[in-house]
Amino acid sequence: RALFRYFLTNDVRVFFYHGENDLDYGLVPKLLNAIHVSVFVAIGFFYFISKEIKSKFDYCASALLFGFILLLSSKNIILVVILLSLIHFFYFSKSSHKLRLRNLIVFSLLVLLVFSYSTIKNRLAYEFQAHTKKSLSANVLEGIPKNVHFVSVKEAWQNKTFTPNDYFPGTAFRVYQFRIFTELISEYNVFFTGFGLNASYPKIEEKATQYNLYKGSDVDPGYQNKNFHNQYIQVFAELGVFGFIILIIILLINLKNAFKTKDFVHFAFAILMISLFLTESFLWRQRGVVFFTLFYCLFNSNVSKKIE
């Protein structure tokens, strides 16, 4: 689809991420969501690289799927996929048993961490206060006009008010959402009960009005209708602390069973879900809850049989 659109438009944007709407440029339509597709593709990628005996087709499929993950441009998923690929190579693959590099690698990483601590600390401090359009997580609004003010993480957490000219990069917006979550839980005293399923949206809109965030228009969406973009916060806000605890238990059981079975695809699925929930309300979308429920049940049924 992207190749066909490229020949028509000669615009390389058709190969990356998703467009501002379903008719705009992008590798997948806006409604489909590039981050969600990245997760689906990642599971396929890990299936192929984890096969003990690989054919030429397996290598080609792995390369194609990894390229697709890069083009979808979800920084969070790309980082996790690379990390999991390294874990597979050094701990799960046959070569990991032949190459006795594990202790050397761990030692080297520890040494690098010790020597680079001050550099990492300074970099994080800069990111916290910098006014930059670059972000560690995906942006929530696309097509931002020029001469807007990019809100820093510090401003997102501390500012008493904003202006319609303030634009939130992905990380800053998620910090702002966490901020209003803590305020809403305190103001409405819903720590134990939550607001109810999808009942947090009017409260988020109220906060957007209170802080004077950009509201958009009929054709240009604003910030007031966005969910928390964090599954843990979304569950806590709408189902209360007990719903949050249940979600954590579900994820821990999944991770525990992945270690038990030593099934790398199961392990990759567990880590992907834990990281994805930090930046997306994945289970509050139909494709998300269907995908998670299906694979969770498939991986965690008959765990003892898998071990045998």
Residue 220 φ/ψ region, left for φ over 0, alpha for ψ in the -120 to 50 degree band, beta for the rest: beta
pLDDT band (50, 70, 90) for residue 2: confident
User: Cα torsion for 195, 198, 202, 207, to the nearest 10°?
Assistant: 70
For 78-110, write each residue's pLDDT tens digit.
Answer: 999 998 988 888 777 766 555 555 555 664 665
Give residue 154's identity as a one-letter amino acid code. Answer: K
CB atoms closer than 10 angstroms to residue 202: 11
CB distance 254 to 273 below 8 Å: yes
Question: Is residue 102 a contact partner of residue 139, using CB atoms and an 8 Å limit?
Answer: no
Q: State the pLDDT confidence band at 18, using cuts at 50, 70 and 90.
A: confident
> What pLDDT was estimated at residue 299?
93
What SS3 state is found at 167?
A: strand
Query: What pairs with residue 149 in β-bridges?
Result: 166
Percent of the chain at pLDDT > 70 equals 77
Give mean pLDDT, residues 170-195. Answer: 92
Name residue 98's amino acid.
K
pLDDT (tens digit, 9 = 90+) per residue, 222-272? 787 788 989 999 999 999 999 999 999 999 999 999 999 889 999 999 999
pLDDT of residue 218: 65
Question: 52 or 269, which is more confident?
Answer: 269
| Encoded tokens for 112 | 């690098």
Place 111 in a pLDDT band, splitting at 50, 70 and 90: low
Domain boundaries, given as residue ranges, for the chain: 33-115+243-307, 122-229
**pLDDT averaged over every residue in the chain:** 83
* 8 A C-beta contact, residue 243 and residue 190: no
Q: Is the CB of residue 239 less than 8 Å from the CB of residue 200? A: no
- 212-231 burial: b if 16+ Cβ within 10 Å, else e: ebbeeeeeebbbbebbbbbb
Res 126: pLDDT: 47
Residue 225: per-residue pLDDT: 79
Q: How confident is the model at residue 123 (pLDDT cuts 50, 70, 90)?
A: very low
For residues 185 and 183, give the distance between their C-alpha atoms in angstroms, rounded to a whole number.
6
Q: List the single range of 40-49, 133-142, 193-202 with lowest mean pLDDT.
A: 133-142
| pLDDT digit string, tens, across residues 54-69 | 899 999 999 999 999 9
**138 touches 35 (CB < 8 A):** yes
